[in-house]
Structure 1
Amino acid sequence: MRELGYTINSITKGNMNKLLLVLCFISNALLLEAKDVKVLSPDKKTVLIITASLGNENTLSYSISYKGSPVIANSPLGLEFENESPLSENLAIVSVKRNLVNEKWKPVYGEKNSYTDHYNEVTIQFKERKEPYRLFSITSRVYNEGAAFKYNVVTDKQIAITRELTGFKFTKDYTSWIAGAAQAKYSKGSISKTVNGTERPYVIEMGQNRFIALGEAALVDHARMKFNRSPKDSLMLVATLDGKSVYNANFSTPWRFVMIAESAGKLLENNHFILNLNHPSALADASWIKPGKVIREVTLTTTGGKASIDFAAKHNLQYIEFDAGWYGHEYDNASSALAVNVDPSRSTGPLALQEIIDYGKLKGVGVILYVNQRALSRQLDSILPLFKSWGVKGMKYGFVNVGSQQNTSWLHEAVRKAADNQLMVDIHDEYRPTGYSRTYPNLLTQEGIRGEEESPDNYQVLITMFTRMVAGAGDFTNCYFAPRVNDMGSHASQMAKAICIYSPWQFVYWYDRPADSPRQKGGAGATASAISEIPDLSFYDALPTVWEDTKVIEGKIGEFGTIARKNGDDWYVGTLTDKARNFVLPLNFLSKNKRYEATIYADDASLSTPTKLAIKKMNVNALTVLNIQLLTKNGQAIIIRPIKN
């Protein structure tokens, strides 16, 4: 203590006060000059370091490591504004606030019945060292599953973000899976081959036991982020925004995240990470939110509507959906979704919609209505209370505009307004989820996926499983009797996909129609395949759409994958492959000391039936190991139920 002019033994009460003042001054000075702020995951395997450099670079940056190895090398942070200097340099650290959270929460529905939210959080407040001395902060969270950060800006005037400076620097040209749009094909590439506008989450393989996913969470009222390759560095990705984001008061950006796992399957299994970065449910009462299976009504007729309801009631489906055309041509601005006016190019009608809705109530089957963006943008505030008065259970928002701050804000407001009218929502086309279903669980599902309207083969599906599905639920429009099934894979793989591709509203029989539904001359009703009452239907009859537990048993992106999901006491297993393979499947996820019956739905090319699907039963337990043989682009689905004594 002599450096401060005191000895321990000679400190008087007055000197003690002076000493405390000196120590306080030194402490504050050291804090202001601090260079690195380190945040560790609860298990201490992941380290995020945020650096306010005071050297020649004089810039803000960060890095992430896992088990001592770099995941993201030193990369830039910051924001650029219209008509103002960027927030990225000449910064002093004003304060560092730390927080530890370890809690569990229960979703209204999900891939599991509870999620762990465990992280270390640090908020670092910065102030510019020169005029205009602006304040802002970065909040970072480090979980065992990855790291995330967001910018918090203090402003008392209108401010417009024109560019984000966030980068993601890599040390090698790692393998990655690239899609330039939400519904585009995926291609296997690398960091240096990243196309501008690459979708998120962006999955990258850094080694045999290291996979990461880059993305954003809690995108509500900001311009959407995607990824560009830096023009100056082929191993640097940069965040790119779909236009300006304008604010008139203090605001926070969406989270930017880096998920980290030791396998592609674990990355998928940890996708609740994105939900954790969103606010808890804003709904005091969510009892009206009911997931379930949906069949599309393709004829747009009263007869077809009632036939679909009868089929749904018989086969344990919860909803029917009237798609485009029920209120006129969806691309005609003159078409009003306030009344039924069937598009003659799709159906000759007639369609007594209220009669069908009332009929569905008697049978316990709800009705969902599709409305295109053109009508939504003009009539939303009238549509929602009207549909509620009709007894409609939910809506599918079609061809929504996405990307810009204005479109993003409008769409999430439309979800909130639907909740005010107790209407569930499915968003179609280019919208990809960032976890808003936690805050507004009436947003059950969304497309933003290369579903079966695009006839993806198993190779594409097995990329989608471990990339797009990290983001959350995907409306895949599963079909079964349509000819395209044979082009995509097999009938057993269709069943497996219905297990592997999670969606609380699971559309099934998408290109199919009940046998007593009338064939139409135009529209989907003209081409839809008739559903045959065959034993295969027992799988879809039993299929749940939400789960109490999910285990990704194995997976290799684009090659194969097996997922086991639990509902009640029953387990559902789906497995898919691109190329022929034989493997063993231990059933050690089953409860010990219990006996089960497994119903196996498998492809059998030797059968003369149209679907060439074999169904067999066998007794199993937790010690059973199944030997599974799959041909090219095939799959298998298994339902495992306890044997009641």
Structure 2
Amino acid sequence: MKVCEAIRCDEWSPNGHVQSVFVNISKTVSIVFDSLKIEFRLFERMLAYNAWMISNHSIQSIRMDTQFNFKSREGIQGDAFMDAGDERGFMKLSINETLSALVKSWASTTQHLPWTIDLRTENNRVLISITEACGSGATNARMMLSTSASDLRSDLILRNVYSYDAMHDLEEAGLQWIVWLVSESPASLANLAGSPGLLCPPPKFMNAHSWAKPGKVGRDMALSTVSGKMWMDFAQTLDLRYILFDAGFYGDEYDPRSDPLKPLDSPKSNRFNLCAIVEYGKSLAKPVGVILYVNDIALSKSSPSVEKIAATFKLWGVAGVKMGFIQVKTQIDMQRVIRNIFIFGQNRLFVNVHDCFRDYYLSRTMPHLLSSEGVSGDEHARNTPSHVLTLPFTRLLAGRTDHTFTLDWSRLRNKNETIMFQIALPFMLYNGLQHLYWYRDIQSLSKLGTKPPINLWVQLPTQYEQSLFLDAEIGVYASVARRDKTGKWFLTYVTSVPKIAITLWNFLPKNAANYIATIHADIEQSYDIPSYQLPKIKIWQCQVRKRLLVKLKANSAYVAVLQIGYKPELQIC
């Protein structure tokens, strides 16, 4: 029996969409001591628990351990997907094998949640993902091995710790929520993304949506006035909302003497007039905002120093800040980073936090936090197609992620990925700031134009009204349907193995109007082409009625755009 009213997921849209499901609280249990409160919340598919200080006079620290028992059970098989640490991606280990690889990994690296376990018997399957939500300045939870373990298979410990510190503590003092998500299939697990955000405090900036707007981003690697304006001109066609000036515009980012408030006249070979670029972006028919990079070395000096950076960037007309190489290994580091995010919000600047930081749904409390990295994305050429197809069931359960999508033929060739595999990824992996064309210079990009399949990235939304993973297998394939505010649907199917992809149309509203599907898929192709030419794809249309069947080869994908319409001459699908 439910004891609380249902909470709609659309009170907050962590994945840029309004979910059509309800998460029902069935029980809240609080244990209160003189200076400490421990709380458990049980939802329909989610268990969460944390602890925080009511009074800091008698308690100096809190430590909470969750111990896991991996002793083998007859008839149970499964896999564990865990972070390899230091942005090296997620690795897959069988829980039936010896854990020597696990021991070595966890002993030598800094670990982060989520941690997803896939357990199977002959007749049943259950998936459990352990993540966290909204630590109020506490260090992220870490996995470790007990030093007194006699059997390593049964003594893996999840530990989160909070120490009271009057000099650095934020307004709330306590541990982050440890969250267990439970489902019967990978697709239903991926659809729980965003639910842990309901545990977080309400937004601190109630009108942030008016100035912290999601959007697509291009990066000007040339760092010059001419190239910056060229990006902004082409952004009118590519539907880019922002241009990023990354590391280097104020000198060597690792030199403590470099000052982000003193942009270099010529960071590379040509003149760089930041204020002229900002004003040019504002003057365009579709204004283009500027995002500036600041390394953590500059952000770690003092709060007044960060306040000066934020106020000056706002005075310059900058739209947002990319915080780079952020260090969050200690509680003091985490509190400093969260405080800096808040300071930028006070100055109406949105934030993208890069490298090992994961927001764990902090974006609900600070909605100007549009993006965080915390993933081995396209910047890391070692990624495999199967790794990308692990992320919806691991990393995206810790909040949105910046995958920095490339469009580079040599990288695709080296990973044996098709062009449509790459084009489909930002439709599958949501982020508030979708960085596209990473590593592309504006000269070669402008030669590509907006012909297919780039036309799909031009159409790519950064806010959705509804999203639903339809079918999936971790590391193998995934199918997701998303609807934008105009009513247009984007159906994406990505696979790392050869597959006959069959999709039913039962995700569409009952008694829906007629839809026409425009499908973009691969053909046999070669990347032995100049960088300014596009690999060819095939495009066809069908009238939506029964099901869509597309034959896909390994490491390929399709994207189908569904719009209301009727053409009697089209084939039924």
TM-score (norm 1): 0.77
Give how far 1:533 is off.
Answer: 4.8
CA 473–463 in structure 1, closer or farther in 2 if over 3 Å, else same: same
Q: Are 2:224 and 1:301 equivalent residues in the alignment? A: yes
Provide, for residues 589-618 of structure 1, a one-character-per-residue CA deviation record: whole Å limited to 9, x for no partner. Answer: 224342222222211115897543324131
Aligned to 2:117: 204
- Which runs of structure 2 are paired with 1:42-191 in the superposition (5 Å)? 42=2, 100-104=4-8, 105-107=10-12, 110-114=15-19, 116-125=22-31, 136-157=36-57, 159-161=59-61, 163-169=63-69, 172=72, 174-181=78-85, 183-191=87-95
Deviates more, 1:209-218 or 1:301-310: 209-218
SS, match of residue 390 in structure 2: helix
* Rg comparison, structure with higher value: 1
CA distance in 1, matches of 2:51, 2:512: 52
CA distance in 1, matches of 2:156, 2:336: 29
CA distance in 2, matches of 1:153, 1:285: 30
Give how far 1:504 is off.
Answer: 1.1
CA distance in 2, matches of 1:265, 1:294: 29
SS, match of residue 211 in structure 1: strand
SS, match of residue 641 in structure 1: strand
CA distance in 1, matches of 2:438, 2:546: 35
Which residue of 483, 488, 492 corresponds with 2:420?
Answer: 492
Query: Which 5+ residue runs of structure 2 have no aligned equivalent?
Result: 568-573
- Which runs of structure 2 are paired with 1:547-566 in the superposition (5 Å)? 547-566=464-483
Which residue of 316, 319, 333 corresponds with 2:239?
Answer: 316
Which residue of 207, 214, 229 corresponds with 1:291?
Answer: 214
- Which runs of structure 2 are paired with 1:335-354 in the superposition (5 Å)? 335-341=258-264, 344=267, 347-354=268-275
Give how far 1:285 is off.
Answer: 1.3
Give how far 1:385 is off.
Answer: 0.8
Q: Are 2:363 and 1:437 equivalent residues in the alignment? A: yes
Which residue of 383, 407, 427 corresponds with 2:333?
Answer: 407
The residue type equivalent to 1:507 in the other structure is H
CA 126–306 in structure 1, closer or farther in 2 if over 3 Å, else same: closer
CA distance in 1, matches of 2:150, 2:362: 35
Which residue of 496, 503, 513 corresponds with 1:578?
Answer: 496
CA distance in 1, matches of 2:553, 2:188: 26
Give how far 1:342 is off.
Answer: 5.8
On the 8 A contact 2:480/2:493 being kept in 1, the answer is yes
On the 8 A contact 1:161/1:246 being kept in 2, the answer is yes
CA distance in 2, matches of 1:304, 1:429: 26
On the 8 A contact 1:601/1:614 being kept in 2, the answer is yes
CA distance in 1, matches of 2:490, 2:375: 23
Aligned to 1:359: 280
CA distance in 2, matches of 1:482, 1:514: 16
The residue type equivalent to 1:205 in the other structure is D
Give how far 1:415 is off.
Answer: 1.1
CA distance in 2, matches of 1:101, 1:342: 59
On the 8 A contact 1:125/1:135 being kept in 2, the answer is no
Which residue of 181, 185, 200 corresponds with 1:259?
Answer: 181
CA distance in 2, matches of 1:553, 1:423: 36
CA distance in 1, matches of 2:46, 2:162: 28
Aligned to 1:380: 306
Alpha carbon RMSD of aligned pairs, Å?
A: 2.5
Give how far 1:515 is off.
Answer: 2.1
- Which runs of structure 2 are paired with 1:539-618 in the superposition (5 Å)? 539-568=456-485, 569-591=487-509, 592-605=511-524, 611-618=534-541
Aligned to 1:17: none
On the 8 A contact 1:558/1:578 being kept in 2, the answer is yes
Give how far 1:170 is off.
Answer: 5.1
More strand by share: 1
On the 8 A contact 1:295/1:510 being kept in 2, the answer is yes
CA distance in 1, matches of 2:350, 2:429: 20
Give how far 1:232 is off.
Answer: 4.1
The residue type equivalent to 1:506 in the other structure is Q
Which residue of 218, 221, 245 corresponds with 2:163?
Answer: 245
CA 436–206 in structure 1, closer or farther in 2 if over 3 Å, else same: same
Which of structures 1 and 2 has the larger relative contact order (alpha carbons within 8 angstroms, sep 6+)? Answer: 2
Aligned to 1:73: none
- Which runs of structure 2 are paired with 1:208-227 in the superposition (5 Å)? 209-227=125-143
Give how far 1:200 is off.
Answer: 0.6
Provide, for residues 109-158 of structure 1, a one-character-per-residue CA deviation record: whole Å limited to 9, x for no partner. Answer: 6342257453134334365xxxxxx6533211001121011123444426
Aligned to 1:370: 293
Deviates more, 1:380-389 or 1:485-494: 485-494
Query: Which 5+ residue runs of structure 1 have no aligned equivalent?
Result: 1-39, 43-98, 128-133, 518-528
On the 8 A contact 2:13/2:194 being kept in 1, the answer is no
The residue type equivalent to 1:122 in the other structure is T
The residue type equivalent to 1:280 in the other structure is P
CA 218–279 in structure 1, closer or farther in 2 if over 3 Å, else same: same
CA distance in 2, matches of 1:257, 1:298: 39
On the 8 A contact 1:513/1:531 being kept in 2, the answer is no
The residue type equivalent to 1:472 in the other structure is G
Provide, for residues 502-544 of structure 1, a one-character-per-residue CA deviation record: whole Å limited to 9, x for no partner. Answer: 1011000011122278xxxxxxxxxxx9645533221111110
Tell me the matched-pair count.
528
Provide, for residues 210-231 of structure 1, a one-character-per-residue CA deviation record: whole Å limited to 9, x for no partner. Answer: 1001122112311221212443
